[in-house]
Structure 1
Amino acid sequence: MFARIRSSLTLKLFLASFVSTHLPLVAALIYYLQNRHLDPIVTIGLLLAATIAGTALCLGTLWTLLNPLRELRGAIWQFRKSRSAADLRSTRRDEIGLITNAFSMLTSELSRTIATLEHQATSDVVTGLRNRRWLVDNAPAALARARREGTGLAAIVMDLDHFKAINDRHGHDAGDRALTAAGAVVLSCLRPYDLAARIGGEEFAMLLPGCDQRAAMDIANRIRLQLAALSVLPDGERMTASFGVCEALPQIDGLSSILKRADVNLYRAKRGGRNRVSGSQVDAGKPSPSMREERINSTRDA
């Protein structure tokens, strides 16, 4: 019988209600059996005290029994807001325990599934880098931090040279190997908190918090040299890339304007013979400089 009560919330509630409501009657009965008469004043006082005690017992029992539901409610709100599952594993064997454990397992599995889907939705499976969507979502935070802390931020746009010709001559498998190798080189040359994404077929973008243009150009050249040293294409063909670098103006820049300026320098590197890094620095008073207003600081041949 005790095991059935432990495993049933309904029986617990019924038992608490039964004991609480019958406590005044039991108290009066015990008083009568001991005294064989009922003094009105004593009886009223006894019934009143027993009623208060029964009510307190009932409310306390309900509060204790239903407390896991309040915790479950808080966990539901937490999961809705942050998608983080709370560990609510319960040792109770009644309905609330079963519901709590089921909810905990379900939200843990759902949280892992959501994290996996979000990673898949924001990652590029070929290169191992993030994709344009992820960069668009995370760039504003990096810019806001640079604006708040007064630190620099630079951008690099990289484009693999003659990538269409690689696919045409060697097939798309070779093209995928080239992209995979390029992604690995980019990751090896960046810091853990830098933002890197494949934003097009053979185009990559990097945001480097705390970097000025000179440091970003050094990183771009390091990537360029490592790419040129790889042997991932048939017949010993070298894989090269062109780079456009610009230093962001966090107070007035958004991701779009930064990438546009870096693209201008990228196309200049392409026109200059490819396999090189082209960078420019803009007048801080002009948020949207034209190509005429840009100045090449450094163009390095392979």
Structure 2
Amino acid sequence: MLIKDVGFTAVDVGAGTDDRWAGLVQDGQPRAATWITPQMRTSDGERAAKNVFAAHMPELVPVLHQLSAGTPEPGAIALLTQVGLRPWFAACTQAAVDGVLLRNYDYDPARCDRKVVRSDFLRPVIGTGEVQWGLLDGTNDAGLAVSLTFGGRFVHGPGFAAPIVLRYLLETCDSVPQAVAALRRLPIATAQNLTLVDGDQALTVHVGPDMTATVAPEPIAANHQLDPVPRGQEAFTRTHERLAAVRAATGATGDRVSSVLRALLRQPLYQARYAECLGTVYTAVYRPAEGRVTYHWPGEAWEQSFATFEPGVRRVDIGLPDRC
């Protein structure tokens, strides 16, 4: 399946104090509203969400209040906390190799924000935005990068949605060890695999509402945490097949980063099952030591960095020709 002329927008929201932030919120509000539960729209729900946020992410409380001033809709603060959001489950594959983080984000493009966001809330951060200030992947000025995949277990509990967890890590952590320590104390609502990279190390951490953050054997991830994966789920997601493919690419001789990138841009890692929320929306390559990210699609690339961030819109074709 090939989808033509899909728009991706790069926006610099600065410290979130002006109309750039308000414009980002307004643009994404119709979709963001679908994640809010009825409880989040009540005063009790909002109070509870703020209390959880303050208890676990106190460094971001001033930013929360600052950003909420530009989002007057009912449930705005609760949405910004990302506590108690409706769960969602995507696919994705990711790997860290030679100080570089590479990932495919697989979902339905119509259900994604498709925003590249640079911000200066507590520090400079660049990443792929989701649900206002949440992130699917990103890097900070300290040289830490992180991305997420669904962990494959359909569990849901109290805690934070993964995009705000990535935001918190990149706003408050300088290194992989600091990020792992944060993950071990944060309540996370769904099963997720987070791959982290800094100048010294890279690893993948499995997290979820029913487990302590656990370091995986390799700095790669698809969409499972435990074996065996149910047969039907394996047939649908091909998580083991994709993990094997990215593992093989990381083991190549020569330029391993190029090897992984080539693998991510072809089957089985590159997927075109968009109607099933299993299509590759973008491939991102983070070089955190250089403070830059390059987004890739077949035949297209778009680079952004702290040194040169260019707001604007890029329109691309995604997917695979029907003959594939």
TM superposition score normalised by structure 1:
0.27
Query: Which structure exhibits the higher relative contact order, with contacts defined as CA atoms closer than 8 Å and separated by 6 or more residues?
Result: 2
The structure with the largest alpha-carbon Rg is 1
The structure whose residues are more often helix, as a share, is 1
The structure whose residues are more often strand, as a share, is 2
